[in-house]
Amino acid sequence: MGGMIISLDMEEMETKIYEIGFNLVPHLAEDKIAAEVADIKAIIEKNKGTVIYEEAPKLRPLAYDIATTTAGVKRTHSQAYFGFIKFETTGSDVMEVKIALDKKDTIIRYLLIKTIKDNTMYGTKMARTDGPRPKKGKEDGKDGVPSPMSQADMDKTIDELVIE
């Protein structure tokens, strides 16, 4: 009987920065929210991840109602606790994080993306230091302003960032 050979792509072994944005169910007691965040961080750390930054969840209205079913009980949510965690891990370990998050019934939805370490928090808008803005109405390219990104290019960029 032969053995099974598993090869890991170098990209899977390389450390990268990821961010998870998550919506927690709104019926959680406020003292349970910190415990849920601690549980998400424990999942990350169990899978060789290092938390870089986090923002505590805050109750926010949702853009549309989301229905969930947990233990046979169907609920519709119009608001949720939204928070995010930025962390560092390898490509193979982030898949284990995703699998564990999929099993949590306190998370309504989450988005897990590759990101960069810098610019965790955007501050107030900085004033331009490269001179006045170009006047509107000129054709793209002639005044140094890049043409807008096509829908196909935008979709490709988003697809590269989203973890499946």
Per residue in 16-47, pLDDT (tens digit) is 999 999 999 999 998 899 999 999 999 999 99
The terminus-to-terminus CA distance of the chain in angstroms comes to 34
Q: Quick one: average pLDDT of 96-107? A: 94
Local confidence band at 117 (pLDDT 50, 70, 90 cut-offs): confident
CATH 3.30.470.10 fits 12-118, yes or no: no
Q: What pLDDT score does 160 carry?
A: 78
Residue in the structure block whose two tokens are 């450390």: 15
Q: How far apart are CA 140 and CA 148, in angstroms?
A: 9
Query: Is the pTM above the cut of 0.75?
Result: no
